[in-house]
Amino acid sequence: MAVIEFEHVSKAYRLGASRTSLRQAIVQVPHNLFSRNGTQPNQQLFWALNDVSFRVESGEVLGIIGPNGAGKSTILKLLSQVTFPTRGHIRTRGRLAALIELGAGFHPDLSGRENIYLNGAILGLKRWEIDAQFSDIVEFAGLEKFIDTPVKRYSSGMYVRLAFAIAAHIKAELLLIDEVLSVGDMAFQQKCLTKMNQLRDSGATIVFISHNMWSVNTFCKRALLLRAGQIEAEGDPDEVIQIYRRQESEGLLLRSDGAHISDDAGSGSQNGAHGPVSETVITQVELLNKAGQPEQAFDASDHLLIRTHYVAPNRIETPLFIIRIRRADGVICCSLTNRDEDNFAQPSIHGRGTCEARIGPLQLVPDIYTVEAHIVDGEQPITYARSSRETFHVEGHVSGPDHAGVFEPHVEWLLS
């Protein structure tokens, strides 16, 4: 029996300043009467969801992934009846507990204790039912010392611990969990996943939004990829995650090929000269595979050849090349320079040239990476040129807790 039925749901929000003052509204009336096209100028609509349909059966765990702004939180808000669809139909069955954004319906002036009762009451529990679970909730959240302090003084981690503790203990049939869990520390996230497993085993239905691909993969039986308000993929979490990753890396590539991105790190990242002629410029950074062909998708055992093309109008006596590989979430996986032990025997550079760095085997975990190439001075802290546009991704299946590990060396196992 379906616990959630989402049928052709669309949700539109009005963009622009909303009519928040009577004074404005009164002034608008003659304006509307006399203007040609009747509608106010700021009546554009933003469709957060566009004809979305899906079902969730009882006992299922559904993961929803997608880039920011895809509409994931909107789905949760619609499910918990905080807001209503512009078009379409939503049906849910059973008691519902939701953790949406930070806050989950806490009143800031009340203490944790009072909020537990308030939230419990909102979620439909009787006082004696809350009494029975009270100490379990406080213990799970680890907030014994702070339970009588107003929640406005809680840190975001404490907030989410309390919110999750309440949601997990109210015996809800349907649990909606937004990506807020990422606010908690690793220990807490682990605790939450364990608890959610227990809830799932006891028959609860869970809808889980996360950016943590590993938890989506291990925890969910089915996943939905949402992008720009529409479902792009649905099915086995592993497959959906792969589709998502592929799309993301293609998206990154598209963005880096096209117009110059404003958040680019360096000055030397434009193709072709845009700056004063006397500046050193990295004209191109090529990513090549072992055979010397341009490549963007690699395996952990592949070799990567990074060829940096530069133009140095002025001679640089003591140049140093730095190659950095930065993972999609910002972690710098390695920073390689061509300075060798006895302080570089790098000859000076002048004019056009290339610098090649052969890295291999990559031994990086599957993810999307950006290559940063810098030309700096070997003796003084001067940066001559920078480029950080080229990206590549390492393919493979996510095999461990999210981003635990940057590096995947070759390993051989021996059992005796």
Residues that bind another protein (CB under 8 A): 13-14, 18-23, 25, 77, 80-84, 98, 100-101, 103-110, 114, 117-119, 121-122, 124-127
Nearer to another protein, 2 or 118 (CB): 118
Alpha-carbon distance 31 to 393, whole Å?
55
Nearer to another protein, 84 or 407 (CB): 84
CA dihedral 395, 401, 403, 405 (to 10 degrees): -90
Q: What are phi and psi of 269, to 5 degrees?
A: -100, 5
Which pair of structure tokens corresponds to residue 412?
A: 């051989």
- In whole angstroms, the minimum distance from the beta carbon of 385 to another protein comes to 47
Alpha-carbon distance 85 to 391, whole Å?
39
Q: Residues 283, 309: contact at Cβ < 8 Å? A: yes
- In whole angstroms, the minimum distance from the beta carbon of 105 to another protein comes to 3
Q: Residues 393, 252: contact at Cβ < 8 Å? A: no
- In whole angstroms, the minimum distance from the beta carbon of 94 to another protein comes to 14
- In whole angstroms, the minimum distance from the beta carbon of 243 to another protein comes to 31
- In whole angstroms, the minimum distance from the beta carbon of 37 to another protein comes to 23
- For the beta carbon of residue 344, count every other beta carbon within 10 angstroms: 16
Cα 139 off chain centre by: 30
Nearer to another protein, 17 or 273 (CB): 17
Sheet holding 332-337, edge to edge: 297-298, 383-394, 367-377, 319-327, 332-337
- In whole angstroms, the minimum distance from the beta carbon of 181 to another protein comes to 16
- In whole angstroms, the minimum distance from the beta carbon of 83 to another protein comes to 5
- In whole angstroms, the minimum distance from the beta carbon of 126 to another protein comes to 6
Kindly provide the b/e burial profile for residues 43-75, where b requires at least 16 CB atoms within 10 angstroms of the residue's own CB. Answer: eeeebbbbebebebeebbbbbbbbeeebbbbbb
Residue 397 region by backbone torsions, left for phi larger than 0, else alpha for psi between -120 and 50, else beta: beta
Nearer to another protein, 206 or 285 (CB): 206
H-state helical runs in 94-152: 112-122, 127-141
Judged by DSSP in three states, 230 sits in strand
Nearer to another protein, 25 or 132 (CB): 25
Nearer to another protein, 22 or 415 (CB): 22
Nearer to another protein, 19 or 255 (CB): 19
Nearer to another protein, 101 or 136 (CB): 101
Alpha-carbon distance 395 to 389, whole Å?
19
- For the beta carbon of residue 334, count every other beta carbon within 10 angstroms: 12
- In whole angstroms, the minimum distance from the beta carbon of 405 to another protein comes to 36
Alpha-carbon distance 89 to 82, whole Å?
15
Nearer to another protein, 13 or 407 (CB): 13
Nearer to another protein, 116 or 368 (CB): 116
Sheet holding 61-65, edge to edge: 96-99, 174-177, 205-209, 61-65, 222-227, 230-235
Alpha-carbon distance 204 to 216, whole Å?
17
Q: What are phi and psi of 216, to 5 degrees?
A: -65, -40
- In whole angstroms, the minimum distance from the beta carbon of 81 to another protein comes to 4
